Chain A
Amino acid sequence: MILRKDLTVEVRSLEIAYTTLFFAVSCVLFFAFALVKEGKAPEDGAAGILWIAIAFSGTLALGRTFERERQSETLRALLMAPAARPAIYVGKLLSIIALLVAAEVVLVPLVAFLFQVPLLAHPFWLAAVLVTGTIGFAAVGTLFSAMLVRARSRDVLLPVLLYPITVPVIIAGVRATAELLEPDVELALVRFWVALLVALDVVFVTLALWTFEPLMTD
Chain B
Amino acid sequence: MAIDFLELTAEDVSRHFGRRRALSKISFQTRTGSILGLLGPNGAGKSTMIAVLATLMRASGGAVRYGTHTAALAGASLRARIGILGHDLFLYPELTARENLAFFAGLYGAADAHAAADAALARAGLGDRAHDPISSFSRGMRQRVALERSLIHGPRLVLLDEPFTGLDDASTAALVARLRGLRDEGAIVILATHDLDLAEGLLDEALFLRDGRMVDAVARPGALRSTYRSIMGRRS
Contacts and interface: CB of A to CB of B under 8 A. Distances in A.
Interface of A: 1, 5, 8-9, 12-13, 68, 71-74, 76-85, 217-218
A82 B91 contact: no
B91 A72 contact: yes
B76 interface: yes
Nearest to A15: B94
In the A-B complex, the 10 residue pairs with the closest CB atoms: A82-B80, A77-B90, A73-B88, A81-B107, A82-B76, A82-B79, A9-B94, A12-B94, A5-B103, A74-B90
B177 interface: no
Contacts of B108: 81-82
B28 interface: no
B54 interface: yes
B76 A83 contact: yes
Contacts of A71: 93
22 contacts: A5-B92, A8-B94, A8-B99, A12-B94, A72-B88, A72-B92, A72-B93, A73-B86, A73-B89, A76-B86, A76-B90, A77-B90, A79-B56, A80-B55, A81-B107, A82-B76, A82-B79, A82-B109, A82-B153, A84-B76, A217-B56, A218-B58
B173 interface: no
B86 A83 contact: no
Interface of B is mostly: loop
Interface in B55-98: 55-58, 75-77, 79-80, 82, 84, 86, 88-95
Contacts of A84: 75-76
B186 interface: no
Given A5-B95, A13-B94, A80 B88 contact: no
A15 B109 CA distance: 30
Contacts of B153: 82
A26 to B, nearest CB: 26
Nearest to A88: B107
B104 interface: yes
Nearest to A9: B94
B106 interface: yes
Nearest to A75: B90
A1 B91 contact: no
A83 B79 CA distance: 9
B90 A83 contact: no
Given A5-B103, A9-B94, A12-B95, 12 more contacts: A1-B107, A5-B92, A9-B95, A72-B88, A76-B90, A78-B107, A80-B56, A80-B84, A81-B79, A81-B104, A82-B80, A83-B76
A76 B57 CA distance: 10
Most chain B Cβ neighbours within 10 Å, of A8, A12, A74, A77 = A77
Contacts of B88: 72-73, 76
A71 B90 CA distance: 9
A15 B61 CA distance: 43
A82 B92 contact: no
A177 B86 CA distance: 48
B94 A80 contact: no
Contacts of B79: 80-82
A1 B99 CA distance: 12
Contacts of A74: 90-92
B92 A1 contact: no
A72 B89 contact: yes
Contacts of B95: 5, 8-9, 12
A12 B94 CA distance: 7
Contacts of A85: 76
B140 to A, nearest CB: 16
A80 B54 contact: yes
Interface string B103-140: 11011110000000000000000000000000000000
Nearest to A82: B80
B131 to A, nearest CB: 13
A108 to B, nearest CB: 29
A94 to B, nearest CB: 15
Contact of A73 (B57, B77, B90): B90
Contact of B82 (A13, A68, A80, A217): A80
